[in-house]
Structure 1
Amino acid sequence: MKWLKRALGLDGAKDIEPWKAGQASTENGNNFVTNQVTLAAYRDAYAANGNAAVGLSATWACVQLIAGTIASLPLMVYRTDSRGVRTVARDHPLYFVLHDSPNYDLTAVDFWEFMAASIELQGNAYAVIERGSSGAIEALTPIRPDLVKARRREDGDIEYAWTESGRRVVKTSKDVLHIRGSMGDALSGASTLTACQGVFRDALAAETAAGAMFENGINASGVLSTPPEVRLNKDQREELEKNLREKYMGSVRQGVPMLLDGGLSWVPLSINPVDAQMLESRKYSGEQVCRLFGVPPAMVGFGDKASNWGTGKEVDVLGFQKFTLRKRLKRIEQSLEKQLIPLAERRAQGLTIEFNFEGLLRADTASRYAAYASAIAMGIATRNECRALENLPPVEGGDVVTVQMQNVPLASAITAKRDDDGGSSPPADPPV
């Protein structure tokens, strides 16, 4: 497919062959290309491109949570008229591209999940801007961020270059959408994998060590000793070590009886089960990764013995929305407005691009209906407007803005009572 060739650099199909130990670590470390996770030889893989860190459970969970949540939010184009009334600009060409279908191959969720993940991992997200004969934007096609090189030209414009299917492609900022990550400049954002590579190296080392320990069945090593008067020659030592590895090493051979003769004796070395599982070190590494991405550990499964989604976690979710998602959404919104809508059009039509943050309430019916009730009670929205958000047909009389009257001044209530009684009698005493 066209998008797979452009975005993943493949000839129409993903490489889903299982990992082979003899292959180069750089090939298997590139998760964007092979869609695989390789922890073996993690130092070489990380030195090559750092993508082996994507295979860490905490990294994958954090990126999935952030990118997936952003992709699930509706991206809207709004138009504000001279009276200050803002409406959804469904007739604008950008609305369909951003909200529904960025290109022929991808849905909006696919596209924005890829772009958001690129920002988190590589610090940059790129997409080719394709225009029709009228000059209107008709498609956005993502580019692998690790392939793109940006430089400032002599005329001040930014030039983007990458290799696609063996062909070098060079475009200017007019034809490339570039969303930068945090702590960067005009040419590039900061990559989390590069800026904090020490944290990911430590986490990979802990995972690799734990894997080697579990592969051995969490069996401690031991000492094979001979009586003082017996000394083994070189050949005997090599043969004995070979037999031990082939017959008794590993969890598969656990429990196999060991036959010793010639005065040999086996003394196992004790090991602490907690140390063998390395729970504390691995938990700390996971929390470190969560800290880098601004994700509460409980939201990706790094919690205590209590339920990760139990009482009290609402504060974590609210903090995640305010301090992690909000700044990322604002960065994307401003990049889209600046690069996709000309300044004159923004000023003349009052065009803005925003994520609809209320989309997070789609799965929470109680909170959604409570928000509708508050909006109707305060006169912010009509009943038909709220029904439209629920894909329900309008009802007669539902377009009237109403407010509750329980907080009117007391004098007004007395006057209203007298008017109801014909103005001749004072208000009736309250019932006993």
Structure 2
Amino acid sequence: MSLLDRLFGREKRAAVRSDDAYLAGFFGQRAGLGAAVDPARASGLSVAHACVSSICQNLAAVPLNLYRRAEDGGRERASDHPLYGVLHDMANPNMTAFEAREVLMASVLITGNAFARIEWNGRGQVAALWPIDPGSVAVERLPSGRLRYRVSTGAASSEVLLQDEMLHLRYRLDRSGVMGLSPIAIARETFALALQQQETAAKQAANSFKPEGALVFPSPIAGQQRQQVLDQLEAKINATNGTRGVLVLDGGTDWKSFSFSARDAEFLESRKLTNLDICRVWGVPPTVVGITDHATYSNTDQESRALVVRCLAPMAKRIEQAMNAALLTADARKSLFIEHDLAGLLRGDMAARYAAYAVGRNGGWLSVNEVRAWENLPKIDGGDDYLSPLNMTAAGAEQGERGE
């Protein structure tokens, strides 16, 4: 701590790079299998990559709109606000809104934290968002309780951003309440096992799944003869031509294997179980990432809905509240709010949608133009009228008419 920090009582708390395997091991984040889990390497597992991609791409694809509260309690899109274009079209001059949101969500799911520098215009409105590598950001808590971000911009230079200048998304708060926890670090034992299994499979494939064992002779043999037999055996096993790899053992010679086959060790089943464990870490249904061992038409459809309800919806709420707090001032939050539109992911197939539209239309609480808007169709004249079912009236209305 510097002299000025001591004089003014400044308190700092710096973040540790979550993708540094050596620092992770130093702070007790080493896996029980003896290997440090690097989030960048663990996210390269095929199932882990599929889980992260599924969440990121689905959430980045759905509309993230800025709404304005109406006087009648409804809402309308605030398309005239600069923030609407940042969230919906271009996050900054170099990144589309989809790309920026995908980068931020991937960072949250892998490292537990995502950062974006906020660019404000002269009217106090957000004009752009610039994603930042989380490994270059250190977070400091000031005595006032607010946060300050020190961003490394070079070998010996850094930039300091205040809390109002940074969008900080966090997966799960740590004990200090400052940084988010990486899902990979939380479930590091699962990912360590998956990485070990992948390395084992790679070693077997690199060795062309060649057997390891011993030749057992009924009687002792000379050293020169032993070496000659080993050379012949190695030449047969390593032969590229399949017919030359046939081995004939005579004189009572027996072969004792030192290694288990993948089937005997249940290696393939163990990898399948590990893949399911990785899906559980992010709450992604197995069929979404291509694990279709027990998939049927009905449960695949249900798991697609489960992805939205159990995985995407909580993540969307986490992002919405963080953006509302960081991108809107206290006064602006009284009339504006940010929200994902997840309705498109829950609409189902055409038959189910049209049946639901018919219920709403015949019930009198949906108009033709509202239905056409959900189907991306233009409005029609007279489409804003609502139906009034003849067999449904307000309680007491019929008796009042008879009394008159």
TM-score (norm 1): 0.74
- The aligned counterpart of 1:216 is 207
Deviation at 1:119, TM superposition (A): 1.1
Tell whether 2:89 aligns with 1:100. Answer: yes
Q: Judging changes above 3 Å, is the alpha-carbon distance between structure 1 residues 180 and 243 closer, same or farther for their aligned structure 2 residues?
A: farther
Tell whether 2:103 aligns with 1:114. Answer: yes
2:182 corresponds, among 179, 187, 191, to 191
Q: Distance in 2 between matches of 1:398 and 1:68?
A: 34
* Larger RCO (CA within 8 A; separation ≥ 6): 2
Deviation at 1:265, TM superposition (A): 4.9
Tell whether 2:373 aligns with 1:388. Answer: yes
- Aligned-partner SS, 1:229: coil
Identity %: 32
CA contact 2:51–2:284 (8 Å) conserved in 1? yes
Tell whether 2:385 aligns with 1:400. Answer: yes
Residue range with higher mean Cα deviation, 291-300 or 269-278 = 269-278
Q: Judging changes above 3 Å, is the alpha-carbon distance between structure 1 residues 148 and 263 closer, same or farther for their aligned structure 2 residues?
A: farther
Q: How does 1:239-254 map to 2 (within 5 A)?
A: 248-249=237-238, 252=240
- The aligned counterpart of 1:275 is 264
Unaligned runs of at least 5 residues, structure 1: 1-25, 30-42, 419-432
2:307 corresponds, among 320, 323, 326, to 320
Unaligned runs of at least 5 residues, structure 2: 1-18, 22-32
Q: How does 1:36-55 map to 2 (within 5 A)?
A: 47=36, 49-55=38-44
CA contact 1:183–1:189 (8 Å) conserved in 2? yes
Deviation at 1:241, TM superposition (A): 6.1
Q: Distance in 2 between matches of 1:411 and 1:102?
A: 56
Aligned CA-pair RMSD: 3.5
1:353 corresponds, among 332, 338, 341, to 338
- The aligned counterpart of 2:322 is 335
Equivalent position amino acid for 1:195 in 2: I
Deviation at 1:268, TM superposition (A): 5.4
- The aligned counterpart of 2:28 is none
Q: Distance in 1 between matches of 2:367 and 2:183?
A: 45
Aligned residues: 370
Q: Deviations over 1:220-242 (max 9, x none)?
A: 22313456332427x975x9767
Equivalent position amino acid for 1:180 in 2: R
CA contact 1:97–1:140 (8 Å) conserved in 2? yes
- The aligned counterpart of 2:26 is none
Deviation at 1:386, TM superposition (A): 2.2
- Aligned-partner SS, 1:313: helix
Deviation at 1:311, TM superposition (A): 1.9
CA contact 1:296–1:320 (8 Å) conserved in 2? yes
- The aligned counterpart of 2:172 is 182
CA contact 2:82–2:126 (8 Å) conserved in 1? yes
Deviation at 1:244, TM superposition (A): 5.7
Q: Distance in 1 between matches of 2:313 and 2:351?
A: 23
Q: Distance in 2 between matches of 1:93 and 1:87?
A: 15
2:275 corresponds, among 268, 286, 291, to 286
1:365 corresponds, among 350, 354, 377, to 350
Q: Distance in 2 between matches of 1:261 and 1:391?
A: 74
Q: Deviations over 1:270-310 (max 9, x none)?
A: 85552367211001100111111111222222232x5x351
Q: Distance in 1 between matches of 2:162 and 2:251?
A: 79
